[in-house]
Structure 1
Amino acid sequence: MKTATPGAGRIIGVDLARCLALTAMYVAHVAPSAGPAGILNLSEFVTAPLFALLMGVSAYLSTERMSFPVLFASSVVRGIVLIAIGLYINTWDAQVDIVLPYLGVLSVLIAPLVFLPAWLLGVISLLSWWFATTALTFFTPAYNEQVLSGSYLQYAYQWFFAGTHYQVFTLLVYACVGGILARALGEWGAVGDTVTAIAATGVAGLIYWYATTELSEFLPYTASRLEIAFALFLSIAVLGWSCLLARIFASRAQVLDPLVAAGRMTLSLYVLQIGVLALYIRYAPAYGLPYNDDSWWMLVLLIALSLLFAWSWDRLLGRTIARRGPLESLLALVTGRS
């Protein structure tokens, strides 16, 4: 659903979905328990898939104002920057598997694909879904060999196929579906938002019920077909509900301002989170605090700090060239999207 904001023309529902992905990421990283009925464990299933889905949405929306050569070149630069930032903040030694390199590679891959017809995007997504587990199993031995030999090829194997928590080949499933959904975001109206949200929630619920009752265990990051399908429909549900929420508050958009602002600067807030967790690991034990950063107070701190930072930045710099956020504005400048 398209809802314009001053000077931006953004799809507010997408920004809200990004904010929810950010929150889910915090829960996955620092929540000390699974919560009632294990509901907080859902964050482990949905965070990276939702970011990948939204990357597909954004890539397609960019085709409305950018030609293929321009978008592809821009995405290559964006991908390189994301990989570089990811490798750098990985040296901070936070207790987090950094997702940015995987999203950087995905950014390059999805840019040309969103120009394809929707049916072909669907075929690519389906093939990636079907062969994801096979790819993980097949390439893991080669990845281990590259690690032992110290070859830089280990990064290619890891990012594309053999990552412990993420694989670009798997994330491609969600990004392609995002490219398909983006075609309808501005057209299907409130009814489409509602049907999408309810239907995707229902399918995700059925998959979860089957997996938790019929299987001995149902875990995230396995790249199994059932897990990918569950994460996909859960991510679609989040996007559908976010678009519906944006539509409901269209006449009172200021209510959503802090969430929307956070959703627009997820890269900066991601790096900020890694910095906070790295500082905690480095200094907290000296003050008698647990080495493990999982705690409710840390979760509250990350959420509150992110919302406050994003809202303050938007209030102070929302009408300047730096309005997107610290890293987002720099990235827009170097990729030609400013």
Structure 2
Amino acid sequence: MAAVLHRLSGLHAVHRLVWVDVARGLALVSMFVAHAAPSGGPGGVLHLTEFLTAALFAALVGVGAALERRRHGAGRALGLALIRAVALLAAAWLTSLFGAQVVDILTHLAIVLVLVALLLALPLAARAALAAVCLLLGVWLTAVGTGPVARLLSDWLAPVQALTAPVRAELGNVGAALAFTEAESLQWTAEFLTAGPYRLPLLLAWALLGSVLVASVTRFEGVARGRAAAWAGAGLALAAAALAVSRGRTGEFPTPYTASVADVALATGLVLAALGACAAVVPSHLPWLTGILAVPGSMTLSVYVVHQAYLGWAVGVWTVLGGALQPGAGPWLSPAGTDDTWFNVAVLCGGGLLLPLLWRAVVRREPWHRGPLEGPVALATHRLTR
């Protein structure tokens, strides 16, 4: 069995950083548990995936953007970021068709990708400082609330709105429609900053931290493993402190997705620990166990979309073929009719890790070898990556 897995693990692309793809694979497993586990497991340890998953995906956006800037230069890296952002938006539209009981993060990550590609022009220390500011800003804006933030945005943009008012008056009904669109846009922007499980300032902060970490641990001759281990240790210390303070005050874990200080500190600590540990521990060559995570990690977008398709199927939302594919009752449904079952965790982990290996073993032609969705993205970015 080990020999088979060793052979399959060799399907990982040689030009990619193995530890980064292992971190992506870890993010996928964390996501599967966060989206489908019916309980927190022994001691509630699985609840940590609720804090880690989104932060790790965002940090990996920053890691990837920093690596592309180093490899291709600032101009091409920005072009690549724009193309990949469009791909993420297209994938977000695709996942909206499945009806999974999942709040999609791809739209947020598309915006974060473009922003971090622009901010990579800043020095390393400035990016680290900006990440800290964004973390504090995310906590503060959420505490203020969506309505007040929308009013603040309206006040700040009032001079611009005053300048455009005469133009809208000349346009009549079209101008009135534009004014309504402005109000909607302000509300949408405020929600993007403050509401829901994913908040733009926090995701941007984690992406910036990812770009700082990868710049500090990667060298042309390899990875500075001691420095990576220091990042991991600092992350573990921050996460442990957040847990200790929360348990001391409430006796429980922090509440995920609330953007409280404890929530943000725990998520930040976990993501630094995960990235630092992957960089410190994962070798630059590819042993079979590493490949089990690295190969799916290099096909993250495809796996993400397929997992949403499966969860949408599990809850019976699919209506194609007259509903013939709806599964009905089974181990994929909880008694409450949700997708939170251990069966789904097993299916997602097994399928999400093994199907990419099978794809790589069967599909040999480039760029489709990279993945069902990664292939078209590779075609779109070919001119910029040559």
Give TM-score, length-normalised by structure 2.
0.78
Tell me: CA distance 1:143–1:127, structure 2 relative to 1, closer, same or farther (3 Å). closer
Q: Partner of 2:230 in structure 1?
A: 195
Return the match for 2:272 from 227, 232, 236: 236
- Contact 1:63 / 1:71 at 8 angstroms: preserved in 2? yes
Q: Hey, what's the Cα distance between the residues in 2 that align with 1:304 and 1:6?
A: 18
Check if 1:306 corresponds to 2:352.
yes
Return the match for 1:105 from 103, 106, 111: 111
1:260-271 map, 5 Å? 260-271=294-305
Q: Partner of 1:278 in structure 2?
A: 312
Q: Hey, what's the Cα distance between the residues in 2 that align with 1:272 and 1:134?
A: 35
CA shift digits 1:171-229 (9 cap, x unpaired): 11111111111112323533223333233213311221112222465111111233212
The size of the alignment, in residue pairs, is 330
Q: Once the 2 structures are TM-superposed, how far is the Cα of residue 308 of structure 1 from its aligned partner? A: 1.4
Check if 1:320 corresponds to 2:376.
no
Which AA in structure 1 matches 2:231? T
1:1-338 map, 5 Å? 8-138=14-144, 140-141=146-147, 153=185, 154-159=187-192, 161-187=193-219, 189-215=224-250, 218-247=254-283, 250=284, 253-282=287-316, 283-285=326-328, 289-290=333-334, 291-317=337-363, 320-336=366-382
Q: Once the 2 structures are TM-superposed, how far is the Cα of residue 66 of structure 1 from its aligned partner? A: 2.0
Select between 93-102 and 72-81 the one with higher mean Cα deviation: 72-81
Which AA in structure 1 matches 2:259? A
- Contact 1:313 / 1:323 at 8 angstroms: preserved in 2? yes
Q: Hey, what's the Cα distance between the residues in 2 that align with 1:214 and 1:199?
A: 23
Q: Hey, what's the Cα distance between the residues in 2 that align with 1:172 and 1:251?
A: 31
SS of the counterpart of 1:326? coil
Q: Once the 2 structures are TM-superposed, how far is the Cα of residue 48 of structure 1 from its aligned partner? A: 0.4
Q: Hey, what's the Cα distance between the residues in 1 that align with 2:71 and 2:132?
A: 28
- Contact 1:75 / 1:335 at 8 angstroms: preserved in 2? no
Which AA in structure 2 matches 1:92? F
SS of the counterpart of 1:323? helix
Q: Hey, what's the Cα distance between the residues in 1 that align with 2:91 and 2:225?
A: 38
Q: Once the 2 structures are TM-superposed, how far is the Cα of residue 54 of structure 1 from its aligned partner? A: 1.1
Tell me: CA distance 1:252–1:261, structure 2 relative to 1, closer, same or farther (3 Å). closer
Which AA in structure 2 matches 1:94? A
Tell me: CA distance 1:287–1:105, structure 2 relative to 1, closer, same or farther (3 Å). same
Q: Hey, what's the Cα distance between the residues in 1 that align with 2:190 and 2:271?
A: 26
Q: Hey, what's the Cα distance between the residues in 2 that align with 1:108 and 1:190?
A: 29
Extract unaligned runs of 5+ from structure 2. 1-9, 155-179, 317-325
The Cα RMSD (Å) is 2.6
- Max radius of gyration: which structure? 2
Q: Once the 2 structures are TM-superposed, how far is the Cα of residue 314 of structure 1 from its aligned partner? A: 1.8
CA shift digits 1:65-91 (9 cap, x unpaired): 223222222212221221232133123
Q: Hey, what's the Cα distance between the residues in 2 that align with 1:241 and 1:212?
A: 25
Which AA in structure 1 matches 2:288? Q
Q: Hey, what's the Cα distance between the residues in 1 that align with 2:194 and 2:144?
A: 9
Q: Hey, what's the Cα distance between the residues in 1 that align with 2:11 and 2:312?
A: 35
Which AA in structure 2 matches 1:305? G
Which AA in structure 2 matches 1:168? L
Give TM-score, length-normalised by structure 1.
0.89
Select between 166-175 and 237-246 the one with higher mean Cα deviation: 237-246
Which AA in structure 2 matches 1:130? L
Q: Hey, what's the Cα distance between the residues in 1 that align with 2:208 and 2:102?
A: 26
Q: Hey, what's the Cα distance between the residues in 2 that align with 1:121 and 1:114?
A: 8
Q: Once the 2 structures are TM-superposed, how far is the Cα of residue 251 of structure 1 from its aligned partner? A: 5.5
SS of the counterpart of 2:368? coil
SS of the counterpart of 1:32? coil
Q: Hey, what's the Cα distance between the residues in 2 that align with 1:252 and 1:102?
A: 32
Q: Once the 2 structures are TM-superposed, how far is the Cα of residue 143 of structure 1 from its aligned partner? A: 8.4
